[in-house]
C-alpha cells in the first residue's frame, strides 16, 4: 500500500480544490456530502504509524458508509462495531467477521442474537460487555466465546458532556466490580481483553485528563492479570480541530502520553480512532437561496439543514464554512441557517464568511464523522447523495434519496 503516514496532520477547508467542489455541486446538486477516500486512508496510516506495535481498529460508528469501510479494509484496518447493523455492513464491505469487535451497549435482543449467531461460524469475533446482565443474556444464548470487559474508569473527557462516556454510568462495568466480573468471565467464557473509552474529540491540550482514564485501565489490567489477556483496548476519542485557529492533535505527544499512562503490559495495546480517521475527509456542499437583512444580523438561507448535519443543533458544534463560489470577496458576518422550521436549524451565528450571495455554493467542513450517520428525513426531506473521491476518480457512493425512499416503508 502507499505510505500516507507523512500526510498533513489536518486538512483545512480552504485546502480543498474549489474548482472541483464547484463542479461537484453543478453535477450532483446540493446539499451533498463529499468524502475523500484518499484522505481517509492517509489519516489511518498516519495514526497507525504513531502507535507502532499497537492494534488500531476503526470505530465504524463515525461513518459506516460502504465506501469508507471498503477503503479502510483495503489498507488493512480492522473494524470495531457498536451495533449489529455495523457488524453486517462491515462484513458486506469485505471484513472477515473473525476480526470484528462488537462493543455492546445495552444491546437489544436482536443485536445479541445476531452476534451470537455470527460467532458460531466466526469464533474470532469479540463481544465487549458493559453490564453483568449482558453476560447473563449471552449465557442464556449458549455463547461461551471471546469476551472483553468494558471498564467505567470514572473519568470522562471530550468536547461535550454528551460524549464524555468514561464518567457516564451507562457505559461499562463500575471500576471496583471489574475483578469479580473478570473471574466470572474466565469461568464461563474466554476473557480476551479489557476495554474503556473516556470520551471524544480530544486534542493535545486535553490529553492529560484523557490519559488519567487510560492509566486506570492499565492498572486494572495488571490487577486482573494482563499476562492472561490478549489486548487492552483504550478506545478512541482522538479529535480534529474544528476551529481554524486550533492546532491539530500532536500524534507523537499522544502516543508517548498514552503509552506512559497505560504502563507496562504483556497484552497488546488496542486503539479505536473514528473521528480522527474520517472527520476532515468529508464536507457538505450547500447552495444559498435567501439573503435577508435583519436588524441584528444578515441571515443567509441555505438548502442544507439540521436534517443534513445535526451536530450544531445537538452539541452546539462549530463547523468551518467557506464560500466556494467567491472566496475572494470581503468577509461579512452572517447567520447561516437551513429550511427546517426550528430555531435550532442554524449552522453559524455572526460568522465572517466571504460575502454570500444567492446561488453561491458554501462548503461546511469536518463533516466526515457523525455527519451522514446522524442525517435524518425530518420535514420529509430525502437525504443527500454522498460523492466519493478516490485515486483521481469521482463516483456516487450513495445516490440522493427521493420522496419514494422516504415513504417506502409506510403501509
Catalytic: 211?
A: no
CB count within 10 Å of CB 206 equals 19
Q: Is 311 annotated as contributing to ligand binding?
A: yes
Cβ pair 285, 24 in contact under 8 A: yes
Please tell me whether 274 is known to bind a ligand: yes
Is residue 146 annotated as involved in ligand binding? no
The answer on whether 370 is annotated among ligand-binding residues is yes
Q: Is 275 labeled as ligand-binding?
A: yes
Strand partners, 271: 56
Ligand-binding annotation for 272, yes or no, is: yes
Coil/strand/helix, residue 209: helix
DSSP letter string, 359-390 = T-EEEE-S-SSSSGGG---GGGPPPPPEEEEE
Sequence-separated (6 or more) residues with CB below 8 Å from residue 273: 44, 47, 56, 58, 59, 236, 238
Residue 382 marked in a binding site: no
CA distance 375 to 65: 12
Report the 10 Å Cβ neighbour count for 288. Answer: 21
- Least Cα distance to 201 among 157, 171, 162 occurs for 157
In the chain, the N- to C-terminal Cα span, in Å, equals 49
C-alpha 86: how far from its chain's center?
12
**294, 341, 408, 409: the active-site residue:** 341
Whether 136 contacts 105, CB under 8 Å: no
3-state secondary structure 41-75: HHHHHHHHHHCCCCEEEEEHHHCCCHHHHHHHHHC
Annotated binding site for substrate: 275, 311, 370
Annotated binding site for pyridoxal 5'-phosphate: 237, 272-275, 370
Task: Give catalytic residue positions.
Answer: 341
Annotated binding site: 237, 272-275, 311, 370
Amino acid at each position: 500500500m502507499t505510505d500516507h503516514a507523512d500526510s498533513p496532520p489536518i486538512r483545512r477547508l480552504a485546502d480543498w480544490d474549489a474548482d472541483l467542489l464547484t463542479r461537484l455541486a453543478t453535477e450532483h446538486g446540493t446539499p451533498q456530502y463529499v468524502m475523500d477516500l484518499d484522505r481517509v486512508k492517509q489519516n489511518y496510516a498516519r495514526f497507525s504509524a504513531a502507535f507502532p506495535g499497537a492494534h488500531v481498529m476503526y470505530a465504524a460508528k463515525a461513518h459506516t458508509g460502504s465506501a469508507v469501510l471498503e477503503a479502510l479494509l483495503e489498507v488493512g484496518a480492522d473494524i470495531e462495531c457498536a451495533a449489529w447493523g455495523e457488524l453486517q455492513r462491515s462484513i458486506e464491505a469485505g471484513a472477515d467477521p473473525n476480526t470484528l469487535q462488537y462493543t455492546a451497549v445495552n444491546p437489544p435482543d436482536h443485536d445479541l442474537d445476531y452476534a451470537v449467531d455470527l460467532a458460531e461460524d466466526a469464533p474470532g469475533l469479540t463481544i465487549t460487555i458493559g453490564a453483568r446482565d449482558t453476560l447473563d443474556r449471552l449465557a442464556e444464548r449458549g455463547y461461551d466465546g471471546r469476551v472483553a470487559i468494558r471498564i467505567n474508569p470514572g473519568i470522562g473527557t471530550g468536547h461535550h458532556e454528551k460524549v464524555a462516556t468514561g464518567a457516564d454510568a451507562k457505559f461499562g462495568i463500575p471500576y471496583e466490580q471489574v475483578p469479580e466480573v473478570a473471574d466470572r468471565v474466565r469461568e464461563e467464557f474466554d476473557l480476551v481483553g479489557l476495554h474503556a473509552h473516556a470520551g471524544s474529540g480530544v486534542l493535545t491540550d486535553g490529553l492529560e485528563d484523557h490519559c488519567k482514564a487510560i492509566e486506570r485501565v492499565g492498572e486494572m489490567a495488571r490487577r486482573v492479570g494482563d499476562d492472561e489477556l490478549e489486548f487492552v483496548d483504550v478506545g478512541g476519542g482522538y479529535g480534529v480541530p474544528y476551529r481554524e485557529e486550533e492546532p491539530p492533535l500532536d500524534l507523537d505527544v499522544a502516543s508517548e502520553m498514552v503509552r506512559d499512562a497505560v504502563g507496562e503490559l504483556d497484552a497488546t495495546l488496542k486503539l479505536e480512532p473514528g473521528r480522527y480517521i474520517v472527520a476532515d475527509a468529508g464536507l457538505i456542499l450547500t447552495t444559498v437561496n435567501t439573503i435577508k437583512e435583519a436588524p441584528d444580523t444578515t441571515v443567509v438561507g441555505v438548502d442544507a439543514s439540521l436534517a443534513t448535519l445535526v451536530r450544531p443543533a445537538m452539541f452546539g458544534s462549530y463547523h468551518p464554512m467557506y464560500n466556494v463560489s467567491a472566496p475572494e470577496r470581503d468577509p461579512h458576518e452572517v447567520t447561516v441557517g437551513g429550511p427546517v422550521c426550528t430555531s435550532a436549524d442554524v449552522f453559524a451565528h455572526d460568522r465572517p464568511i466571504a460575502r454570500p450571495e444567492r446561488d453561491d455554493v458554501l462548503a461546511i467542513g469536518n463533516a466526515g464523522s457523525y455527519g451522514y450517520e446522524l442525517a435524518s428525513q425530518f420535514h420529509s426531506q430525502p437525504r443527500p447523495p454522498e460523492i466519493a473521491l478516490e485515486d483521481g476518480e469521482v463516483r456516487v457512493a450513495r445516490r440522493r434519496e427521493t420522496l419514494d425512499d422516504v415513504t417506502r416503508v409506510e403501509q
